[in-house]
Amino acid sequence: MTIVFPPQKIIRSKNIIYRLKIYIYESTASKYPVSIEDIEIGKYSSLKKAEKKMRDSTIKCPGKNERDYGKIHSFSIQEIGVDIPYYTSLYDERIYDDHGKLYGIGKNEREPFLGKPAQDCLFKIGNFVEFLRDNNLHIGIVTGLPLMPEDVERHNSWRMELFDKGKGFRDLDDKMYVALCDQSDNTYTVHYGRKDCTEVEDQEPHLFTPKFPIRTRTRRRLLVKCQYENGVYASYYSENKAYKINFELNSFMLSKYNEPHVVIFDFWHHLILSLDSYQVLNGNPDKFDKKELDRLIKLIKTNEEDLKNKFHKMVDEHEKGLFP
C-alpha cells in the first residue's frame, strides 16, 4: 500500500496528453528472459490520434524478411497531465497487444480500490505469466492475487479505527488523514528468477500469457516456490531462515487442519509439525536425520504450552486486524 497525500491535495490536470510506446523483441528470440526494447513513438493530443498511430505501426513486414524485423510484444498509451508536478501527472495506462487490441487498463496507484473477487481475476495462483522488467521479458509464477473485497473492507476498517483513535497518517501540515486501500493493492504477486526467487507486484494488464516454452527445471523451481508461498510446504532452500524456529499464521494450513501447527526451519529444509499430534503434516521428513527429528519433537513437547499460547495470541491479533 502506498502512503499517499490526502485526496484534496492531489491535483488533476484538465490538460492531458497521450504518450505512445511500443515494446519489441528480436524475431529469433526463443527462451526467457527475452531482451525487450521500448521505443517512445510520440506524444499526442488525443487518445484517438495515439491509437491511430499505434495501429499504423502494426503493418506486416514485406515479403519473407521477418527475421530482419523486430516483433511487437505490446503497446502502451499513458496519460500525462500537463502543467502540474510530475508525481501527480500520471493517470491511466492503456495496454494493447501486438495487434493493437486493447488488453487492459492499468490504474494510477492513488486511485481507490474496492477489492477484486478471485473468480474475476484473469490469472490464478500457480499460473505462469510473462512480464516486462528491466528491459527484459521474464517468466514468473503467480503466488498471490489482488486483495478481495472482504480484505479491503477489513483493511479500511482497521485504518478508520486508528484514525478515530488519533493514530492515523499525517500530511506535511501535520493534519491527520486516512490512507485507504488504493490501486497498489490491486496487484498480483509474481515470483521469478533463480534460487530464492525475486518478488514483483504488477497490475493485471502488465501480465501476459507466456509466448515461449518454459524450461522444465524453471517450471519445477517456480512451482515449488509457489507452493512454499501458499502453505504447501516442501523442501526448499532458504539460507536466511537457517537455524530458526519460526511461527507462522498460514491461511492455507488453517483451512486444511483444525489444530495449531508450527513451522520448524532447520538449515536447508523445513517441515510442519502438528502441536497436537506431533505428526509431520507436510514436507520432506525423509531428508531429516531421525535423531534430529526426535530432538525437534522433544523441543516442541517441552515448550508445548508456550507455543500454543503464542500461536493463539497470533491468531487473535490477526483477527483483530493488528496484522493487516
Q: What is the pLDDT of residues 74-107, one digit of tens each?
A: 999 999 998 887 767 778 999 999 999 999 999 9
Burial class (CB in 10 A: 0-12, 13-18, 19+), 131: middle
Q: What band does 165 get if pLDDT is binned at 50, 70 and 90?
A: confident
Read off the C-alpha cell for 57. Answer: 505501426
Cβ neighbours, 10 Å, residue 316: 10
Percent of the chain exceeding pLDDT 90 equals 39
The span from the first CA to the last CA of the chain, in angstroms, equals: 11
Looking at residue 4, what is its pLDDT? 46
In the predicted structure, residue 44 carries a pLDDT above the cut 50: yes
2 compared with 147, residue with greater pLDDT: 147
Q: Residue 197 — very low, low, confident or very high, per pLDDT cuts 50/70/90?
A: confident
Which own/partner contact pairs does 311-319 have at CB distance under 8 Å and 24+ positions apart?
Answer: 311/247, 311/260, 311/261, 311/262, 311/275, 312/260, 314/247, 314/249, 315/249, 315/254, 318/249
Confidence band for 186, pLDDT divided at 50, 70 and 90: very high
Local confidence band at 114 (pLDDT 50, 70, 90 cut-offs): very high
246/78: higher pLDDT: 78
Q: Is 226 a residue whose pLDDT tops 70?
A: yes
Q: pTM value?
A: 0.70
Residue 196, pLDDT > 50, answer yes
User: 208 - beta bridge partners?
Assistant: 130
Dist CA 138 CA 278 (whole Å) = 41
Least confident of 90-104, 194-208, 226-240: 226-240
pLDDT at position 78: 95
- Of the candidate ranges 106-110, 141-145, 166-170, 278-282, the one whose mean pLDDT is the lowest: 278-282
Are 273 and 280 contacting, i.e. CB atoms less than 8 angstroms apart? yes
Q: How confident is the model over 148-154, as a mean pLDDT?
A: 89
Q: Which residues contact 163 (CB under 8 A, 6 or more apart)?
A: 176, 177, 178
More confident residue, 217 or 302: 217
More confident residue, 10 or 73: 73
- At 324 the pLDDT is 43
Position 77: which residue type? I
Task: Calculate the average pLDDT of the chain.
Answer: 76
Instruction: Give the rounded percent of residues in the chain with a pLDDT score beyond 70.
Output: 62
Q: By C-alpha distance, which of 159, 11, 179 is closest to 84?
A: 11
pLDDT of 13 reads 82
Q: What is the pLDDT of residue 239?
A: 34
Give the whole-angstrom CA distance, residue 207 versus residue 202.
7
pLDDT band for position 245 (50/70/90)? very low
Q: d(Cα 128, Cα 188) in Å, to the nearest integer? A: 12
